């Protein structure tokens, strides 16, 4: 058996081509035009046509073959194409990020992968009624958890591709948060938007929102006086030396929020919030002035050659406990401990430190409004003097025989 396959279509001869389409029993000649076409067809498709030798190739054929041996697109052309593509992309309008995504990034994190994971965890918790990443967090306050869930719900509902079941489930939870915590959420959102308008950094904006959110806390949740809560937010900055700038910036931002409250809503609705903001402005102003007083006092101590002085924040913390907090004894004790560590060229540096601190700071006219009444102020003086005697910091004159 032969291994060669017989071709399906045999080679077309000149005679067969001339007779194509004609009856074999009836021969008739072709016209001159038809013969010319047939000859050209045979010449173009005949497999017996020998390939031309390199010497027979024309100059155009040589140039064509040489060009085909090279890359179709050179490196220079690729670089120009990529540059042109980059310029084209840069001119395209950027995808607009939603306001709620910007709020989430400012308050929590700007990592898009974390946001996606947070969304998936939040949706799964609603379906399975199980704790989410937000619920498991130990660093977030209750108010921050509520705000984060609300923002996630808004971000999910902005997606047009979510299923109807997800839209209903998330929408119900969003409405529940709005009904129960609506005022606190709107207050924080207003503060975030104001921070964006003031072009604050994310860190400054978070501190500003947390300080602003203290206004929204009910009295039962306020463990200490509001001014002490404010002081805790700026205590670290005071030690670094930039506390004044941060306090002034926070004060100015509250002024802008007060203007926003008055312009966007009727006064009858926002009057309680306006009073709270005005109260916060007064507290910020008091802290700023108290910080200035303490810096001046420590500067005078340095000129008097007193060393091992306490930090400004430590003295301010003790001062606020003595004046505005109900923990008078703890504040005086902290002040005594700070005074015990100071040293001077002469004996009695601690006594001189406490005596002048009482006169220049605790009895300053600036702090008179921070005491409950005159009896409170007198009680502070008496307790401080008693503590100085019991701790051996007050020099008691010897009785003459």
- Domain positions in the chain are 97-199, 303-390
In contact, 221 and 129? CB cutoff 8 Å: no
Chain segment 300-317, per-residue pLDDT in tens: 888 888 888 888 888 988
d(CA 315, CA 309): 10
pTM over 0.85: no
Of the candidates 112, 93, 92, the one whose C-alpha atom is nearest the C-alpha of residue 101 is: 112
Strand partners, 307: 343
**343, β-bridge pairs:** 307
Residue 129 region by backbone torsions, left for phi larger than 0, else alpha for psi between -120 and 50, else beta: left
Say which residue, 197 or 140, is predicted with more confidence.
140
Q: How far apart (Å, rounded) are the C-alpha atoms in residues 111 and 225?
A: 36
Q: Which of the listed ranges 210-219, 296-305, 320-329 does the model predict with the highest average pLDDT?
A: 296-305
CA distance 363 to 375: 13
**What are the b/e assignments for 198-229, b being 16+ CB within 10 Å?**
eebeeebbbbbbbbbbbbbeeeeeeeebbbbb
Chain position carrying tokens 């119900």: 172
Written as one string, the DSSP assignment of 261-306 is HHHHS-HHHHHHHHHHHHHHHHHHHHHHHHHHHHHHHHHHHHHTT-
Mean pLDDT lowest among 58-72, 167-181, 215-229, 237-251 = 215-229
**What pLDDT, on a 0 to 100 scale, did the predictor assign at position 154?**
93
Question: Which residues does 394 contact at the CB level (< 8 Å), separation at least 6?
Answer: 351, 385, 388
Q: What is the number of H-type helices and E-type strands within the chain?
A: 17, 0
Give the percent of the chain with pLDDT over 70: 67
- Spatial distance between the Cα atoms of 228 and 325, rounded to a whole number of angstroms: 8
* 42, 62 Cβ separation under 8 angstroms: no
Residue 104: count other Cβ atoms within 10 Å of its Cβ. 24
Distance CA 145, CA 131 (A): 12
What pLDDT does 172 receive? 92
Report the alpha-carbon distance of residue 192 to residue 205 in Å, rounded: 7
How far apart CA 314 and CA 338 sit, in angstroms, is 8
Mean pLDDT across the stretch 266-270?
58
More confident residue, 85 or 190: 190
Residue 164's Cα: distance from chain center in Å? Answer: 30
Q: What is the mean pLDDT of residues 95-110?
A: 84
Q: What pLDDT score does 50 carry?
A: 47
For residue 381 the two structure tokens come to 């003086």
The rounded Cα 286 to chain-centroid distance in angstroms is 30
Q: How far apart are CA 308 and CA 312, in angstroms?
A: 12
Q: Three-class SS of residue 343? A: strand
Place of tokens 């005679």: 15
Q: Whole-angstrom Cα distance, residue 281 to residue 288?
A: 11
pLDDT of residue 368: 79
Whether residue 191 contacts residue 212, with contact meaning beta carbons closer than 8 Å, is answered with yes
- For residues 14-38, average pLDDT: 64
Backbone torsion region of residue 400, taken as left when φ is above 0, otherwise alpha when ψ lies between -120 and 50, otherwise beta: beta
């Amino acid at each position: 058996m032969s291994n060669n396959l017989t071709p399906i279509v045999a080679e077309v001869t000149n005679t067969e081509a001339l007779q194509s389409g004609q009856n074999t029993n009836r021969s008739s000649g072709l016209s001159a035009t038809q013969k010319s076409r047939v000859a050209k067809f045979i010449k173009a498709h005949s497999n017996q046509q020998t390939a031309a030798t390199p010497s027979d190739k024309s100059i155009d054929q040589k140039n064509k073959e040489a060009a085909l041996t090279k890359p179709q697109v050179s490196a220079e052309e690729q670089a120009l194409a990529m540059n042109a593509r980059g310029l084209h992309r840069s001119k395209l309008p950027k995808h607009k990020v939603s306001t709620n995504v910007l709020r989430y990034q400012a308050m929590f994190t700007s990592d898009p992968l974390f946001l996606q994971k947070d969304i998936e965890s939040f949706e799964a918790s609603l379906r399975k009624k199980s704790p989410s990443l937000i619920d498991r967090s130990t660093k977030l306050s209750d108010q921050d958890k509520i705000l984060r869930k609300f923002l996630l719900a808004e971000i999910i509902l902005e997606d047009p591709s979510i299923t109807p079941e997800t839209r209903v489930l998330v929408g119900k939870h969003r409405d529940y948060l709005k009904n129960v915590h609506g005022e606190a959420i709107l207050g924080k959102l207003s503060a975030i938007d104001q921070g964006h308008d003031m072009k604050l950094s994310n860190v400054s904006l978070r501190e500003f929102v947390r300080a602003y959110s203290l206004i929204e806390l009910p009295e039962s949740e306020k463990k200490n006086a509001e001014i002490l809560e404010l002081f805790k937010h700026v205590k670290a900055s005071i030690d670094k030396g930039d506390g004044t700038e941060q306090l002034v910036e926070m004060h100015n931002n509250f002024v802008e929020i007060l203007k926003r409250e008055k312009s966007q809503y009727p006064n009858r609705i926002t009057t309680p919030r306006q009073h709270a903001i005005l109260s916060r402005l007064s507290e910020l102003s008091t802290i700023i002035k108290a910080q200035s007083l303490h810096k001046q006092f420590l500067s005078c101590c340095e000129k008097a050659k007193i060393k091992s002085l306490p930090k400004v924040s430590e003295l301010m913390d003790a001062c606020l406990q003595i004046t505005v907090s109900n923990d008078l004894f703890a504040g005086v004790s902290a002040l005594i401990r700070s005074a015990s560590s100071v040293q001077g060229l002469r004996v009695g540096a601690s006594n001189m430190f406490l005596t002048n601190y009482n006169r220049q700071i605790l009895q300053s006219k600036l702090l008179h409004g921070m005491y409950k009444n005159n009896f409170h102020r007198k009680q502070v003086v008496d307790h401080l003097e008693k503590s100085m005697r019991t701790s051996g910091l007050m020099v008691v004159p010897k009785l003459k025989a």
